[in-house]
A and B are shown apart, each in its own frame.
Chain A
Amino acid sequence: DAGVIQSPRHEVTEMGQEVTLRCKPISGHNSLFWYRQTMMRGLELLIYFNNNVPIDDSGMPEDRFSAKMPNASFSTLKIQPSEPRDSAVYFCASQGEEQFFGPGTRLTVL
């Protein structure tokens, strides 16, 4: 298994643009998590899916953020419109017995 796959690995965009981050979890894992990591706030859980259903989205900062999981092998995190304070590393993690992280997407919003 290739592990959790995230794309793109780096994204630079301008304020106001739409950003879509993608994640392919490990096959067979039932749970998928989106995290955001910044120096100021550390690792924050944004949203958690179980069997493709969003269970807890209380960490999603505001309506500009949305996440979907249309099937067991794909999830997206969308920011529209993006703002400079959204700049961070966004991790996707999938969980079977252990939680494994993807390599992250480094987002810079200018």
Chain B
Amino acid sequence: AQKVTQAQTEISVVEKEDVTLDCVYETRDTTYYLFWYKQPPSGELVFLIRRNSFDEQNEISGRYSWNFQKSTSSFNFTITASQVVDSAVYFCALSGNSGGYQKVTFGTGTKLQVIP
């Protein structure tokens, strides 16, 4: 069985602060993928990143960075110098190979509010 836990339901930060969104996952698969999605108030789901379970290198994309640690089954997401436009719900997801096909499990999401 797969499980994704985003323990932080809501986070509020003041603009320009750094913020880290936590994601902990469970899977029995040896090969899997981890994702982050952003859902702004407009409602669409925007793909941010996909990480292969064999690639533990951290990734940086502008103000976004991701820390993947297999030892702790975590895939945390950090926004540096947060901006009001970062206000959204962020979902972490896991895609494993269950029974020969990919099954995607989403966390419950973390609502981030960036206060100007």
CB-based contact A42/B109 at 8 Å: yes
Shortest CB-to-CB span from A12 to chain B, Å, is 16
Which residues of chain B have C-beta atoms less than 8 A from A95's C-beta?
102
The size of the chain B interface, using a CB distance under 8 A, is 19
Shortest CB-to-CB span from A79 to chain B, Å, is 20
Pick from A42, A43, A48, A101: contact of B44, CB below 8 A.
A101
Which residues of chain A have C-beta atoms less than 8 A from B108's C-beta?
42
Instruction: Count A-B contacts at CB 8 Å.
Output: 44
Which residues of chain B have C-beta atoms less than 8 A from A98's C-beta?
35, 47, 50
A103→B43 CA distance, assembly (Å):
7
- Chain B contact surface mostly: strand
Which residues of chain A have C-beta atoms less than 8 A from B104's C-beta?
33, 45, 99
Nearest-CB residue, chain A, relative to B107: A42
CB-based contact A45/B101 at 8 Å: no
Asked if B7 is at the interface (CB within 8 A of a chain A CB), the reply is: no
A101→B50 CA distance, assembly (Å):
14
Shortest CB-to-CB span from B59 to chain A, Å, is 14
Shortest CB-to-CB span from A7 to chain B, Å, is 15
Pick from B37, B101, B109: contact of A56, CB below 8 A.
B101
CB-based contact B101/A43 at 8 Å: no
Asked if B103 is at the interface (CB within 8 A of a chain A CB), the reply is: yes
A42→B93 CA distance, assembly (Å):
13
Interface 1/0s, chain B 76-116, versus A by CB < 8 A? 00000000000000010101000001111110110000000
Interface 1/0s, chain A 99-110, versus B by CB < 8 A? 111011010000
Asked if A82 is at the interface (CB within 8 A of a chain B CB), the reply is: no
Q: Can you name 8 A-B residue pairings with CB atoms under 8 Å?
A: A43-B91, A45-B103, A50-B101, A91-B45, A97-B50, A98-B50, A101-B46, A106-B43
Name A's B-contacting residues (CB within 8 A).
31, 33, 42-43, 45, 48, 50, 55-56, 89, 91, 93, 95, 97-101, 103-104, 106
Name B's A-contacting residues (CB within 8 A).
35, 37, 43-47, 50, 91, 93, 95, 101-106, 108-109
